[in-house]
Amino acid sequence: MKRLISSTYIAVILLFSTVLAVAQTSDYQVKKNYEESYMELKTAIRDAMTVNQIDSLTKEISTLKYRNEEHQELLDDALYPETLESSIANLQQSARNSEHKLLVIEDQNERLDRLSNELSNYKSEIANLNNRSDSLRNAILDSEKSESDLSELVKRYRNSMQKRDEFVLNMIDSLFITYKDMNGETMAELSNQNQPRSIQIGDNPLKVIESVIDENLQILKSNDETLQTKDYLRMYVVQNRFNEVWDRIGNDLATIYGENNSQQWKSRINNKLTDWKASASKNMWASMDKYIEQNGLDIGAFDNNKSFYAAIESFINNETDASQEKMVTKENYKDFETFYNFWNGKIKNDWGQFVQEGQVLTMSQISTIDTEMMNWRDEAKPRSFVIPILFGLSLLTIVGLIIVLARR
């Protein structure tokens, strides 16, 4: 019975195949059908929005090839100078190109989603830290507590500011990592495809950047007495890094998120960054100057990297010359020790990371100053007369002994 069913089934299939074989087709129609399917697939590949769509279109290309293999000779002639094989290969190549492009876009979408979440987290964390810093600052201002309690408050406040700056640096690094490779065609495509999604007010990186700049400007302009040189150096570094990243990705960010106002966004952020840079620089150099002065050193005036280096170099050269003139004095050596402590303890050690990152002094400048410091040390070191005296006494003793021996 089973066999009978099976035979009947095969017979039906054969009969159906025969009917299909009997149905006469126009070769021209075969070519036309192929060309229509080809064009439909080509358009579908061009318009595909997801990798899944491309996968299904790739299967359709295989089906098209399979369906037309029996007409290969005819199609090779009809499609001249193409062939069935080459036209299918073209379609497959288009599908692969499209898939690659979509994968890049999907990957960038994922990165943007991640960044969007990160930005939200950073934003709320920075807001928390700002609140905490503000309340600590208010507590310091209103404090009637003992000196040790006040000192603890200041310490907590400075820690909170440091943490906040670290978050800002992390955020700007995340922005940079996400956007640094997005450019050209992909960027334009991304901008077009994701317009409705990416311009959500809350996640707009331009707004986050603007608010971070505003907050920093506010802190810097408040002339906070509790902040120290190290804090201002850190803020200077954060500003430098911000500027650097904006120079690299600002254009692309403004293109994607600025909608029709990309130019306005760009110039607004550029202006604010200039303001921030000026404030960060002014506060940092002023604080550095104050610190040096408080430590009894007078290295002269400076307000930027170049004049700071020139001031140090000139100070060391003058001190070295002075040491050469006053050979037998400990005063110069004391000056040397004070500067040495500032140079090695602060510039190279405590503030070293920020001095390098913010290019307050370059490595080559530091190395030159180190060499000049060694000269100064050699010149400033008080000379000891014990050895020459001992040497003289020894010499006299030897001469005396020789005379005594000679008389005998």
Partner 1 sequence: MRLQRLIPMIMLASIVMLGTACKTFVVKDVNYSHQLESVLTPDANGDIHDVRHGLTFNIAPFQQQEFGEDDSTRIQEIRLIRDAKGYYFITANQFKHVYVMKPGSGTLKMEKKIKISEDRLEAPALNFRNNTVQLVKTETNEIFVLTEDGIQENKTKEEKS
Binding site for partner 1 (CB under 8 A): 22-29, 31, 74, 77-78
The CA R_g of the chain, rounded to the nearest whole Å, is 39
**Cα 333 from Cα 378, distance rounded (Å):** 10
Q: Is the Cβ of residue 25 or residue 93 nearer to partner 1 in the bound state?
A: 25
Distance CA(131)–CA(386), nearest Å, equals 65
Longest dimension (CA), the chain: 150
Least Å distance between CB 22 and partner 1? 7
Tally Cβ neighbours within 10 Å of residue 196.
7
Distance in Å, CB of 61 to partner 1, minimum: 23
d(CA 8, CA 3): 8
Nearer to partner 1, 23 or 406 (CB): 23
Residue number with CB closer to partner 1 (31 or 111):
31
Surface-to-core class of residue 310, CB atoms within 10 Å of its CB (0-12 exposed, 13-18 middle, 19+ buried): middle
CB of 37 to partner 1, least distance (A): 17
Q: Crossing angle for the helix pair 331-340 and 305-325, nearest 10 degrees?
A: 150
**Nearer to partner 1 by C-beta: 32 or 326?**
32
Burial of 302 (0-12, 13-18, 19+ CB in 10 A): middle
Those residues with Cβ within 8 angstroms of residue 376's Cβ, 6 or more apart along the chain or in another chain: 316, 319, 320, 323, 336
What's the rounded Cα separation, in Å, for the pair 348 and 361?
Answer: 10
Least CB distance from residue 71 to partner 1, whole Å? 11
Q: Please, what is the minimum distance in Å from the beta carbon of residue 73 to partner 1?
A: 8
Closest distance of CB 48 from partner 1, Å:
32
Q: Which is nearer to partner 1, 76 or 350 (CB)?
A: 76
- Our CB check for partner 1 shows the closer of 28 and 66 to be 28
Whether 296 and 290 have beta carbons less than 8 Å apart is answered as no
Between 74 and 150, whose beta carbon lies closer to partner 1? 74
Amino acid of residue 105: I
Distance in Å, CB of 10 to partner 1, minimum: 25
Q: Minimum Å distance from CB 81 to partner 1?
A: 11
Minimum CB distance to partner 1, residue 19 (Å):
10
How many Å apart are CA 149 and CA 351, to the nearest integer?
26
Q: Which amino acid makes up residue 291?
A: Y
Exposure class string for 319-335: b at 16+ Cβ within 10 A, else e: bbebbeeeeeeeebbeb
Which one, 78 or 140, has the nearer CB to partner 1? Answer: 78
Q: Of 78 and 88, which has the nearer Cβ to partner 1?
A: 78
Closest CA to 48 of 2, 97, 84, 12: 97
Q: Taking the alpha carbons of 294, 299, 301, 304 in that order, is the dihedral positive or negative?
A: negative
